[in-house]
């Protein structure tokens, strides 16, 4: 079992020398189960490289979950090679917390005049499924949906494998509660004591007043959640498109200072593209 981050940029892909460390591809994470089943969360453009690698490894069945359907989380879907492969089966999951149809949304980005091929013309076997609120287990890995506080709704996931628990909460605004979402306290209760919290920290505190309501959290909100939930580590993600590597480093420094001030020893870092979490040893997942 491992988790690999194929993209952690927010809003729109970026590229260039200023983005080498944290990467420019938008949200996509892979959970590879002990028997090599591929669970994928979100189809940001990070999914393009992932699809190619999985096919090369001889994997032809995929379980693809969507947190929500904002552009940056679906834009890689038409470039996910398995949807064009006639021996591939792609199971696409939606949660009850999503306010729109996944099927309609994916079909709508693959139509004239936006794209040359429709989804119906793609050769892969695509099946749409809905996950119960209690979650789903695939090959020993369970995913339990957690409602996001975000415009148009959505769900993050509590991922459990053996004794490890990881909360993946992208696009989650803790500074206000969007319809269907959780307050900061409710969120802390749901993810209490997880080994690792991967949380949307798109903004610095002094940027927030101009972007309140856009669906994303700040450094101090994420740190407050980590402390209240008593997690062992927090990784920031959904990096703003204008946040170059040095600026992300500064956000982490600021967050570590806040954490030190609180007297807690929770590990704080920023998630980066191609980050790999290994679950092969004892203790906490190892970040490579
Ligand atoms: Zn997003
Ligand atoms: Zn979003």
What are 229-286's pLDDT values in tens digits? 999 999 999 999 999 999 999 999 999 999 999 999 999 999 999 999 988 766 667 7
For position 98, what pLDDT does the model report? 79
Q: Which of 28-32, 53-57, 280-284 has the lowest mean pLDDT?
A: 280-284
In the CATH scheme, what is the code of domain 2-278? 3.60.15.10
| pLDDT above 80 (res 156) | yes
Q: What is the mean pLDDT of residues 74-93?
A: 97
Query: Is 90 exceeded by the pLDDT of residue 191?
Result: yes
* 238 CA distance to ligand 1 middle (Å): 6
> Average pLDDT in the 195-215 region?
98
pLDDT for position 286: 77
Report the pLDDT averaged over residues 59-86.
97
Residue corresponding to tokens 């798109």? 202
Does residue 91 have a pLDDT over 80?
yes
Give the pairing of strands 196-200 and 233-237.
parallel
pLDDT reported for residue 92: 97
How many whole angstroms from 217 Cα to the centroid of ligand 1?
11
Three-class DSSP labels, the chain: CEEEEEECECCCCCCCHHHCCCCCCECEEEEECCCCCEEEECCCCCHHHHHHHHHHCCCCEEEEECCCCCHHHCCCHHHCHHHHCCCCEEEEEECCCECCCHHHHHHHCCCCCCCCCCHHHCCCEEEEEECCCCCEEECCEEEEEEECCCCCECEEEEEEECCEEEEEECCCCCCCCCCCCCCHHHHHHHCCCCCEEEEECCECHHHHHHHCCCCCCEHHHHHHHHHHHCCCEEEEECECCCCCHHHHHHHHHHHHHHHHHHCCCCEEEECCCCCEEECCCCCCCEEC
CA dist., res. 105 & res. 74, Å (int): 9
Nearest 5 degrees, angle CA 69-CA 288-CA 193? 65
Nearest ligand for residue 12 CA: 1
Q: What pLDDT does 166 receive?
A: 96
Report residue 108: phi and psi, to 5°: -70, -20
Cα 86 to ligand 1 centroid, rounded to whole Å: 30
Task: Spell out which residues have Cβ within 5 A of ligand 1, the ion.
Answer: 72, 171
- Ligand nearest 149 Cα, by number? 2
Report the distance separating Cα 63 and Cα 8, nearest Å: 19
Residue 68 near residue 44, CB atoms below 8 Å: no
Domain ranges of the chain: 2-278
- Specify whether the backbone of 207 is left (phi greater than 0), alpha (psi in -120 to 50) or beta: alpha
pLDDT at position 281 is 65
CA of 28, nearest ligand number: 1
Question: How many angstroms is it from 130 CA to the middle of ligand 2?
Answer: 20
Which one of the ligands is nearest to 73 CA?
Answer: 1
The pLDDT of residue 278 is 86
CA 92 to chain CA mean position, Å:
15
């Amino acid at each position: 079992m491992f988790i690999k981050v194929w993209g952690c940029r927010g809003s729109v892909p970026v590229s260039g020398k200023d983005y080498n460390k944290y990467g420019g591809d938008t949200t996509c994470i892979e959970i590879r189960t002990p028997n090599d089943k591929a669970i994928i969360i979100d189809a940001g453009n990070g999914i393009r490289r992932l699809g190619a690698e999985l096919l090369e490894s001889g994997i032809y069945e995929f379980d693809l979950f969507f947190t929500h359907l904002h552009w940056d989380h679906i834009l890689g879907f038409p470039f996910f090679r398995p949807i064009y492969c006639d021996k591939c089966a792609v199971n696409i999951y939606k949660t009850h917390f999503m306010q729109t149809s996944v099927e309609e949304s994916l079909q709508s980005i693959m139509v004239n005049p936006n794209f040359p091929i429709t989804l119906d013309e793609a050769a892969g076997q695509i099946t749409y499924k809905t996950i119960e609120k209690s979650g789903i287990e695939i090959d020993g890995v369970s995913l339990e949906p957690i409602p996001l506080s975000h415009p148009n709704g959505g769900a993050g996931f509590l991922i459990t494998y053996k004794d490890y628990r990881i909360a993946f909460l992208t696009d989650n605004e803790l500074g206000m509660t969007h319809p269907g979402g959780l307050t900061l306290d409710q969120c802390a209760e749901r993810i209490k004591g997880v080994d690792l919290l991967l949380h949307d920290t798109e903004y610095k505190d002094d940027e927030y007043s101009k972007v309140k309501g856009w669906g994303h959290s700040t450094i101090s909100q994420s740190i407050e959640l980590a402390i209240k939930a008593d997690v062992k580590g927090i990784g920031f993600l959904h990096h703003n498109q204008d946040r170059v590597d040095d600026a992300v480093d500064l956000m982490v420094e600021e967050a570590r200072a806040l954490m030190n001030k609180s007297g807690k020893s929770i590990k704080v870092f920023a998630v980066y593209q191609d980050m790999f979490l290994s679950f092969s040893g004892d203790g906490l997942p190892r970040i490579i």
